[in-house]
């Protein structure tokens, strides 16, 4: 069964999938804005990321509400709700990581690598949107989920390199070190959660076969 077969304009199901698409699109915008803010060292743009996190939470509540009102068959609802919550977790991590950027300063020695992670976060999020659209059509998701895993592996490799580099950077005090550590941890965690979201799309896709 293809998800689109049980949709029609005006149905709760259509509203849910439209909002799920909007949720991911907003996440893509947030990831891209995060990257741009780092590249331009623009603190105002980084604050805008926090605003997008709040908007994403509003969309999440709307989706969950529609599902609880009876959208989709009961056996699909828990997986759909779980998927939406996972995507919203990415917003949470972005919203939690942005203040660390605002409160601290990224050492020049590692700034370019942090921007590379932010760039790959944007690309992996775009691939999640492509995977979601493919799921709606009932397409095979294996190549797309593989692409997401490849991006995630690239980010992991950069993270491990960053950890080695940080050990060589003099830190003036404990709090500066903690802020930097939390920033890198949050930045690199985004891809892990997006990979989890793509895996859950695969579960939803298989459950409709």
**Element (DSSP H or E) covering residue 144:** helix 142-166
Domains of the chain and CATH, by start: 7-207 (1.20.58.220)
Mean pLDDT of 65-90: 92
Integer CA distances (angstroms), 127 to 2, 96, 143, 197, in order = 20, 23, 11, 11
Closest CA to 190 of 117, 135, 132: 117
> Residue 93's pLDDT band (boundaries 50, 70, 90)?
very high
pTM of the full structure: 0.91
Mean pLDDT of 114-118: 96
- pLDDT value of residue 3: 52
């Amino acid at each position: 069964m293809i998800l689109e077969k049980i949709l029609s304009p005006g149905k709760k199901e259509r509203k849910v999938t439209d909002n799920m698409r909007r949720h991911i699109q907003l996440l893509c915008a947030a990831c891209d804005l995060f990257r741009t803010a780092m590249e331009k060292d623009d603190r105002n743009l980084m604050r805008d990321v926090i605003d997008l996190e709040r908007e994403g939470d509003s969309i999440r509540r709307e989706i969950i509400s529609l599902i609880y009102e009876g959208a989709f068959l009961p056996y699909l609802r828990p997986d759909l709700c779980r998927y939406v919550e996972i995507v919203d977790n990415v917003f949470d991590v972005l919203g939690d990581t942005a203040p660390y950027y605002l409160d601290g300063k990224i050492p020049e020695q590692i700034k370019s690598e942090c921007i590379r992670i932010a760039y790959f976060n944007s690309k992996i999020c775009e691939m999640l949107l492509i995977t979601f659209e493919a799921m709606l059509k009932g397409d095979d998701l294996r190549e797309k989920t593989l692409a997401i895993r490849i991006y995630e592996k690239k980010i992991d490799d950069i993270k491990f390199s960053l950890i080695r580099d940080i050990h060589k950077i003099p830190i003036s005090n404990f709090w500066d070190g903690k802020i930097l550590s939390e920033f890198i941890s949050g930045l690199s965690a985004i891809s892990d959660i997006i990979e989890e979201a793509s895996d859950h799309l695969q579960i939803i896709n298989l459950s409709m076969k």
